[in-house]
A and B are shown apart, each in its own frame.
Chain A
Amino acid sequence: MEAVLFFLAAIGALGGAMGVVAMRNPFYSVLALIVHLFSLAVLFLLLTSAFIAAAQVVVYAGAVMVLYVFVVAYVGGGGEPVGETLPNQRFLAILVASILFIELSAAILSSALLALGTHGPDVPAGFGDPAAIGRLLLEKFLVPFEASSLLLLIAAVGAIVLAGRKRQETA
């Protein structure tokens, strides 16, 4: 059962990823990414990370992707030209990425992490629950928590500055 779900989610994730890369119209790429994100949420659930799965759906697929949709609507979905201007870019890109993939896999799989071959240790019932994550956030990882909120603030201010109208522009 778990394997089936895994493969389904994996195919969804991969398909979404391919879609993002391959689709000409950026709007379709955004939609493909949303599919990809949902599949990832399923994978998170399979890994008993309920809270992260929920956050993925709510924050990522919900808020961030909506942002994307807004901007795509504003900017326009004009497809980009098909031809490649840089010589050999496509070939080299695929080559380098394949090498990267093989290396990463080889690194992980041939490492001395024996636990990779297992399902993972038995976890208590509340593993991945919001309560557990919340406790961690407020106890052990308080500083990163506060720092990331600060980061969000800065990002918001930055976005306003970047996209705001210029002072001298009259309405």
Chain B
Amino acid sequence: MNIEWYIVLSSLLFATGAVGILVRRSPMVILLCLELMLNAGNLALVAFSRMVGNQQGQVFALVVMVVAACEVVVGLGLIVAIFRRKLPLDVDRLRGLRG
């Protein structure tokens, strides 16, 4: 398949992840959708790396995976902490940022 198919797929996955973030109210699922977007980015990176012919994109994708893992760890820690404090796990009800 031509590379452009992979790129278009990547954009589609990215958009889907964006919709998920905007629509879902559970922080868990929002994190999952965030994973979607990151993976879409990974796909694009690897596709371009294949297009260019060197492996630097793959290394980049690896580092992105590492970052995603760290971010998941911290995010899930947050969710556990919220749950521990008996706060509602609902993004609409956690409104401390209201100005």
Contacts and interface: CB of A to CB of B under 8 A. Distances in A.
A–B contact (CB under 8 angstroms): yes
A152 B66 contact: yes
A133 B89 contact: no
A21 B4 contact: no
A71 B28 contact: yes
Contacts of B25: 80-81, 85
B51 to A, nearest CB: 5
A29 B29 contact: yes
Interface string A80-109: 110011100110111011101100110011
B16 A18 contact: yes
A12 B61 CA distance: 21
A95 B84 CA distance: 36
A117 B3 CA distance: 6
Interface in A67-81: 67-68, 71-72, 74-75, 78, 80-81
A129 to B, nearest CB: 9
Interface of B: 1-9, 11-20, 22-26, 28-29, 31-33, 35-36, 39, 42-43, 46-47, 49-53, 55-56, 58-59, 61-63, 65-74, 76-81, 83-84, 89-90, 92
Interface of A: 2-3, 6, 10, 13-14, 17-18, 20-21, 26, 29-30, 33, 36-37, 40, 43-44, 46-49, 51-52, 55-56, 59-60, 63-64, 67-68, 71-72, 74-75, 78, 80-81, 84-86, 89-90, 92-94, 96-98, 100-101, 104-105, 108-109, 113, 115-121, 123, 127-128, 132-133, 136-137, 140-141, 144, 148, 151-152, 154-156, 158-163
